[in-house]
Amino acid sequence: MAAKLVKIYVLRKRSFLSNFASAMANIEQIRNGEELSFRSRVALTAKLSVPAIMAQLSTILMQYIDASMVGRLGPEPAASVGLMNSSLWMFWGVCSMLTMGFSVQVAHRLGAKDNSGARAVLRQGIVSCVIAGTLMALLGAAIAFPLPHWLGGHDGICHGAAIYFLIFVSALPVLILNYLAGGMLRCAGNMKIPGLLSVLMCVLDVVFNFFLIFPHRNVVLMCMPLEMPGAGLGITGAALGTVAAECVCTFILLWYLCRRQRDLELRGAEARKSYRPTRLVLRRAAKIAVPMTFEHIVFCGAQIMITVIVAPLGVVAIAANAFAVTAESLCYMPGFGIGEAATALCGQAYGASRYDLVRGFAHLTTALGIVVMSIMGVAMYFAADLMMGIMSPDPAVTALGAQVLRIEAWAEPMYAASIVAYGAFVGVGDTMIPAIMNFGSIWLVRIPLAAWLAGTMGLPGVWIAMCAELCFRGGIFLWRMATGKWLHKGKNPQPSPDFIEP
Instruction: Supply the pLDDT for residue 139.
Output: 95
Please report which helix (H) or strand (E) contains residue 219, including its range.
strand 215-221
What does the DSSP assignment read for 39-104? HHHHHHHHHHHHHHHHHHHHHHHHHHHHHHHHHTT-HHHHHHHHHHHHHHHHHHHHHHHHHHHHHH
Q: Is residue 146 helix, strand or coil?
A: coil
Instruction: Supply the pLDDT for residue 171.
Output: 94
- Cβ within 8 Å of residue 257, ≥6 positions away: 122, 181, 184, 185, 264, 265
Type of residue numbered 301: G
Instruction: Supply the pLDDT for residue 470.
Output: 94
Type of residue numbered 330: L
Instruction: Supply the pLDDT for residue 26.
Output: 56
Please report which helix (H) or strand (E) contains residue 484, including its range.
none
Instruction: Supply the pLDDT for residue 230.
Output: 76
Cα-to-chain-centroid distance, residue 216? 34
What b/e sequence results for 70-104 when a residue is b if at least 16 CB atoms lie within 10 Å of its CB, and e otherwise? bbebebebbbbbbbbbbbbbbbbbbbbbbbbbbbb
- Cβ within 8 Å of residue 260, ≥6 positions away: none
**End-to-end CA separation in angstroms for the chain:** 60
Instruction: Supply the pLDDT for residue 391.
Output: 75
Instruction: Supply the pLDDT for residue 502.
Output: 52
Give the predicted TM-score (pTM) of the model.
0.67
Instruction: Supply the pLDDT for residue 21.
Output: 40
Low-confidence ranges of the chain (pLDDT < 70): 1-37, 48, 51-67, 71, 75, 219-223, 489-502
* 8 A C-beta contact, residue 475 and residue 418: no
CB atoms within 10 A of CB 365: 29
Quote the CA–CA distance of 377 and 372 in Å, as a whole number: 9
Instruction: Supply the pLDDT for residue 421.
Output: 93
Per residue in 133-160, pLDDT tens? 999 999 999 999 999 888 877 777 888 8
Per residue in 49-63, pLDDT tens? 776 666 666 666 666
* Domain ranges for the chain: 35-499
Instruction: Supply the pLDDT for residue 61.
Output: 67
Instruction: Supply the pLDDT for residue 181.
Output: 92
Angle between helices 172-187 and 155-170 (to 10 degrees): 60
Instruction: Supply the pLDDT for residue 251.
Output: 94
Backbone angles phi, psi at 314, to 5 degrees: 110, 170
Backbone angles phi, psi at 72, to 5 degrees: -70, -15
